Structure 1
Amino acid sequence: MNTIILESKITCPHCGHTETETMPTDACQFFYECRSCGTLLKPKPGDCCVFCSYGSVKCPPIQQHNSCCAG
């Protein structure tokens, strides 16, 4: 059984600020506000959440090879 990683370093594509965040296990996180510049991040087309688009680790459902909430 694979270990699920629950923390991801999310990097703002606008200012480059990186913050370590704990990912939710029961929902997708569609929005994330950068703590440095205030930019509201949304997933890139084809990604289910901001962690899949801007994080160092994909969200827990994707890590488990399952479909994520956004389908």
Structure 2
Amino acid sequence: MTILHSTITCPLCGHRKTETMPTDACRFFYDCDGCHAVLKPKAGECCVFCSYGDMPCPPVQMARDAGETSSCRARREAVSAEAACSRNGSYRV
């Protein structure tokens, strides 16, 4: 089951806030209500929820539930490649 809420903790001031995570996109920027810093994902992470939240983003949760290790970035790239191939008529299921 995918959890849609994550509590983000600012690494600069420690402010915590529970946010609803989007299921169809990654959230790359997050404005901290405590110190007004703009948070970005850590290197190798796909979004602020995976970097600073107590729950990873829904695409990462779904990948883990399916036994995969891919991030939402890898998932997005795979979907984009699939879409490009299907437009060209070369994608096979």
What is the TM-score when the length of structure 2 is the normalising length?
Answer: 0.70
1:39: how far off?
Answer: 0.4
Pair 1:61-2:41 in alignment = no
1:63: how far off?
Answer: 0.2
**Structure 1 runs of 4+ off > 6 angstroms?**
none
Within-5 A mapping of 1:1-71: 3-65=1-63, 67-68=71-72, 70-71=73-74
- Structure 1: segments with no counterpart, 5+ residues: none
Q: Taking every aligned residue pair, what percent have the same amino acid on both sides?
A: 63
For residues 25-66 of structure 1, the C-alpha deviation after alignment (integer angstroms, 9 at most, x for no partner) is: 000000000011100000000000000000000000000115
- Which structure has the highest helix share of the two? 2
Say which structure, 1 or 2, has more relative contact order (CA 8 Å, 6+ apart): 1
1:67: how far off?
Answer: 3.7
User: Which structure is larger by alpha-carbon Rg, 1 or 2?
Assistant: 2
Between the two proteins, the alignment pairs up a number of residues equal to 68
What is the TM-score when the length of structure 1 is the normalising length?
Answer: 0.91
- Structure 2: segments with no counterpart, 5+ residues: 64-69, 75-93
- Distance, in Å, in 2 between the alignment partners of 1:15 and 1:67 is 27
- Distance, in Å, in 2 between the alignment partners of 1:67 and 1:9 is 19
